[in-house]
Amino acid sequence: MTTFRWGDPADAVTLPSSVRNLLAAALGVTEPRPAAEPVLPEPAPLPDFPGLDVSPAARLGHATGMSTEDLLTARGGAVPDAPDGVARPASHEEVLEVLRLAAEHRVAVVPHGGRTSVVGGLRAVREGYTGVVALDLSGLDRLLRLDRTSRTATFQAGVPGPRAEEMLNAEGFTLGHFPQSFQYATLGGFAATRSSGQASAGYGRFDQMVVGLRAATGAGTLDLGRAPQSAAGPDLRQLLLGSEGAFGVLTEITVRIRPRRELQYAGWAFPSFEAGMRAVRALAQDGPLPVVLRLSDEAETAINAATGSGAEAGGGCLAIVGHFPGADPAERLVEYGGEPLGEEPGKAWEAGRFRAPYLRDALLDAGALAETLETATFWDRLPQTYAAVRDALVGTLSAAGTPPMVMCHISHVYETGASLYFTVVAAQAEDPIAQWRAAKAAAGEAIVKSGATISHHHGVGRDHRSWYAQEIGPVGTAVLHAVKRAVDPHDVLNPGILLP
């Protein structure tokens, strides 16, 4: 049976009894929800795109992204956004050819990297088009250049995270970009969504790593980034970073790379989330800044400890710190009230850091709703945004049934602020999609009202457009539409995504 699940079936998890007991006791979750076999809609005919595959297997394989809404829709037996076919070009020129044919036949083109979008970035609008083609970038899978002197590497955009690391590690380098979706997401996807990885404190966000780009647009090729920095007008690379396939198809990415170094990990306990926030702010502003810096709130710490996936922190909050040898921030953490818990919690976090997506599938099977959302704001507003989003999620989901578990952590810090990453687990209602949409709407309103951004690293996609419009205002929206007209004159690139 085809099911829409994360990763390798061999790595699927079954819920440990500690988690099943917690779900039953805290949320009343006892009824499993098996997934149905999804039924493909009838395909529309497509022109002869390079590398076209219209088989049901190819269409199903490109039918959804990875948000809980995507998974619940597919588990319910429907894949309404499945493309009519999949084009797999093998070169930049073939991508340009896909765009030319799409314009001629008015077919919507959805660039596909690793398909890990959690904001509906692959759910293009179908109305007004003769068909939808998934433009699968997996054929663009090569390392084109490695410049040891400048410490840059140029990859084709379809290279997945692990493959890029493998190729760089073989030369003694690393990119240092490890989002939780690392195993499947691609360099093109990282750039198109302004991704941020678990080591962002030390290596920066993906958009900070990009020094050059090549994009195929509806108006021709854009080659950007010919120097490490430039004062030659506005930086057009920034128009492509975060453009989610709406302004062009990224075909090559040049990134800065660094020599590979091992990290030392440690766990720290703080008496409260606020106390921990003061400590991580001190490191972000005055150093020494570690490479990995994460702080869980009281709820996340307690639930992880109860289910065996995190260390106890004496009723307070757990922080995980990963640093280079010789740059241990221990002294500062003690100064800010931290208690050292030794290496073990850090090593355990590192070992299990890519397991959460498998856990989500098991939670959905068990009848729980599980989803995440994220934001970022300045340090002065962080506690208020945290409280407002938490209250919005708890209030909306409690009104609809049993109170949810809402957990939060900080995992990306800057001198001026940080991101907040929320995880929600609740009992699935009769209509879990409507249930989550209501909770997400309330959280989105709380984010915007508190002056924070609707996304720190997931992007806009289809799901965040109305809040994005509020963030950038009517002039910002008009600028985006003007750019769209310039680079996508036939309006075939990922319609319905990004632009308000």
Ligand X SMILES: Cc1cc2nc3c(=O)[nH]c(=O)nc-3n(C[C@H](O)[C@H](O)[C@H](O)COP(=O)(O)OP(=O)(O)OC[C@H]3O[C@@H](n4cnc5c(N)ncnc54)[C@H](O)[C@@H]3O)c2cc1C
* Site residues (vs ligand X, CB under 6 A): 65-66, 110-118, 121-122, 137, 157, 179-181, 185-186, 188-190, 192-193, 195-196, 244-245, 249-250, 357, 457-459, 494, 497
* Residues forming beta bridges with residue 108, ordered by sequence position: 132
Nearer to ligand X, 117 or 435 (CB): 117
477 CB neighbour count, 10 Å cutoff: 17
Smallest gap from residue 410 Cβ to ligand X (A): 13
Strand order in the sheet with 152-156: 143-147, 152-156, 249-256, 210-217, 220-224
Nearer to ligand X, 65 or 89 (CB): 65
Nearer to ligand X, 249 or 303 (CB): 249
| DSSP E strands, 330-476 | 339-342, 368-378, 405-410, 417-427
Nearer to ligand X, 137 or 426 (CB): 137
What is the full DSSP assignment across 98-134? HHHHHHHHTEEEEEESSS--SSSTT----TTSSEEEE
Helical packing angle, 382-399 and 432-449, nearest 10°? 150
Q: Are 226 and 177 in contact (CB under 8 A)?
A: no
Smallest gap from residue 375 Cβ to ligand X (A): 13
Rounded CA-CA distance 255/457 in Å is 18
Nearer to ligand X, 133 or 266 (CB): 133
223 CB neighbour count, 10 Å cutoff: 10
Nearer to ligand X, 116 or 428 (CB): 116
Rounded CA-CA distance 238/221 in Å is 16
Smallest gap from residue 497 Cβ to ligand X (A): 5
Give the strand pairing for 85-87 and 52-53: antiparallel
Smallest gap from residue 343 Cβ to ligand X (A): 23
The residue behind tokens 């073990």 is 344
- Eight-class DSSP state of 340: E
Region of residue 450 (left: phi > 0; alpha: psi -120 to 50; beta: else): alpha
Smallest gap from residue 174 Cβ to ligand X (A): 17
Give the strand pairing for 85-87 and 131-136: parallel
Nearer to ligand X, 269 or 370 (CB): 370
Task: Tell me the C-alpha to C-alpha distance, in Å, between residue 406 and each of 199, 350, 371, 421, 443.
Answer: 24, 23, 10, 10, 12
Q: Are 52 and 87 in contact (CB under 8 A)?
A: yes
Smallest gap from residue 351 Cβ to ligand X (A): 17
Smallest gap from residue 436 Cβ to ligand X (A): 15
Smallest gap from residue 360 Cβ to ligand X (A): 7
Smallest gap from residue 487 Cβ to ligand X (A): 12
Nearer to ligand X, 50 or 114 (CB): 114
Q: Which residue number has the CB closest to ligand X?
A: 189
Nearer to ligand X, 263 or 327 (CB): 263
